[in-house]
Structure 1
Amino acid sequence: MATETAARLRELPVLTGTAPDSSLTGWSPDPAPQFLRWLDAAVAAELPEPHVAVLSTVDADGVPDARALIVKDVDERGWAFAGPASSAKGTQLVVNPAAALTIWWQPLVRSIRVRGRVVEATPEESAADLAARSAAARADVAAGDWRLWRVIPDRVEFWQGSADRRHIRVVYSRGADAGWSVSASAGGDSIRLG
C-alpha cells in the first residue's frame, strides 16, 4: 500500500528538461574530451554551476558517504577535486582510495557518472589549487592540510534522458591495456555509435 508521500512523489513530473541533440555520431574515443564537449553545451545553455558533482566515498566500516563539490579539472590524468585531508572525504580516501562522481544537469536531462581509484596530486599541485582559492576560502585551511585528488576512471557513463524512456547510455570502460572500449545502448538495447 502506497503511503501519502509515495503517492505525492509519484505525481511529480520527471524528465522535464530539454534534451539537446542526442545524436550518436562524433563521440570521442576518450571520455575526458567527450565530457568537455558536454560541459561546453551545459555552459552554452547557461546551466548554473555545471562543474558541481556529487562525490561518493566509502568509510572504514564500508558505509557510503556523499557530498557535492566542485570538479577542478578533467584531463588524461583524471577528474580532479580538492579539500582538506582532515575532512571526512580525506580520511575515507586514505582507507578506501576509490570514489564515484555523479553530475546531473536537469535542464539538459543529462548525467555523467565516473568511478575509479583515487590518487593524490603532487604537493605542488595541491598548493597551487589552494593558492587559486579566494582569501576567505583559504582562511580556515590548516597549514599543509589542503589536497588535490584525481579519480582515475575505470568507467565513465554518459546518460541522455528521453521522454519515451529510451534513455541513451554511452559507457567507456578502461581495458587492461589502459585504452578505452565504448558501448552504447538506448532503452536497454545495444546500439552503434556513428
Structure 2
Amino acid sequence: MEMLRSLPTLSGHPPGELVDDPARDPVDLFTDWLEAAIDAGVPEPHAMTLSTVGEDGVPDARVLILKGVDTRGFAFASTASSRKGRQLAAHPVAAMTFWWQPLLRSVRVSGHVTEASPEETAADLAARSAEARADVAEGDWRLWRLVPERIEFWQGSTDRRHQRVIRERWRRRP
C-alpha cells in the first residue's frame, strides 16, 4: 500500500550506541533499558507482546504487562483457563517483545515457561485491584516466568545500521 510507504519510520531518538559487553548480565541490561524507557516517558514501558503456540502449532500473540524480571525469568500473569493459559499448559514455551519507540529500542526474549509458586501467584493476584480480581475464578490465576534461552537487545538507527546484542542460554547468578 502506498499509504504505508509514506509513513515515517524510526522517528525516535536513540540514547546512544549499544555496547556489547559479554560479561554484562542480561537482566541488568534489560533493567537499565526499562529504566531508560521510564525516564524517557515511554507510555506503559512494561507492556510487551507475548507470543505462545496454539494447538495447531501456529503462533498466537497478545499484549500483556510484565510483572517482574530477575534471574528466575520474566514474570507475567493471567488465568489458566484463558487461551494463553491453555496454550502454555500444552506447550510451555513463549516469546516476548518489548518496543520502546521513542528510544528506537526493542528487546526480544524467548524460552521455556514455568509456573511461579502458589504463594507468589496468590501475592500477584492480591496486588490486583478488587475490580480486576472480581472475574477470576477460584484457583484460576497463574503467575508464569519465561526463562530465557535467547535475549536480543536491538538498538535502531535512523541510518538503518541497527545494532544487536544477543545472549543465548540463561546464565543464572549464584
Fold match (TM-score > 0.5): yes
Choose between structure 1 and 2 for higher RCO, CA contacts under 8 A separated by at least 6 residues: 2
**1:150 is aligned to 2:150:** no
**1:179 is aligned to 2:165:** no
1:63 positional shift:
1.4
Q: SS of the counterpart of 1:165?
A: coil
Q: Choose from 67, 73, 78 the match for 1:78.
A: 73
Q: Which runs of 4+ in 1 moved over 3 A?
A: 25-28
Whether contact under 8 Å (1:80, 1:151) holds in the other structure is: yes
Unpaired runs of 5+ residues, structure 2, are: none
User: In the comparison of the two structures, how many residue pairs are matched?
Assistant: 172
Larger-gyration structure (1/2):
1
**1:129 is aligned to 2:129:** no
User: CA separation in 2, counterparts of 1:25 and 1:82?
Assistant: 31
User: CA separation in 1, counterparts of 2:14 and 2:101?
Assistant: 9
Q: Kindly report the root-mean-square deviation, in angstroms, between the aligned alpha carbons of the 2 structures.
A: 1.4
TM normalised by structure 1 equals 0.85
1:17 positional shift:
0.5
Q: Give matches, 1:81-160, under 5 Å.
A: 81-160=76-155
1:59 positional shift:
0.8
Q: Percent identical across equivalent pairs?
A: 60
Structure 1: which amino acid aligns with 2:15? P
User: CA separation in 1, counterparts of 2:65 and 2:168?
Assistant: 24
1:148 positional shift:
0.1
Whether contact under 8 Å (1:28, 1:34) holds in the other structure is: no
User: CA separation in 1, counterparts of 2:151 and 2:144?
Assistant: 17
User: CA separation in 1, counterparts of 2:104 and 2:98?
Assistant: 11
2:5 corresponding residue in structure 1: 10
User: CA separation in 2, counterparts of 1:64 and 1:25?
Assistant: 30
User: CA separation in 2, counterparts of 1:179 and 1:84?
Assistant: 29
TM normalised by structure 2 equals 0.95
User: CA separation in 2, counterparts of 1:27 and 1:75?
Assistant: 18
Unpaired runs of 5+ residues, structure 1, are: 1-5, 181-194
1:179 positional shift:
3.4
1:7 positional shift:
1.4
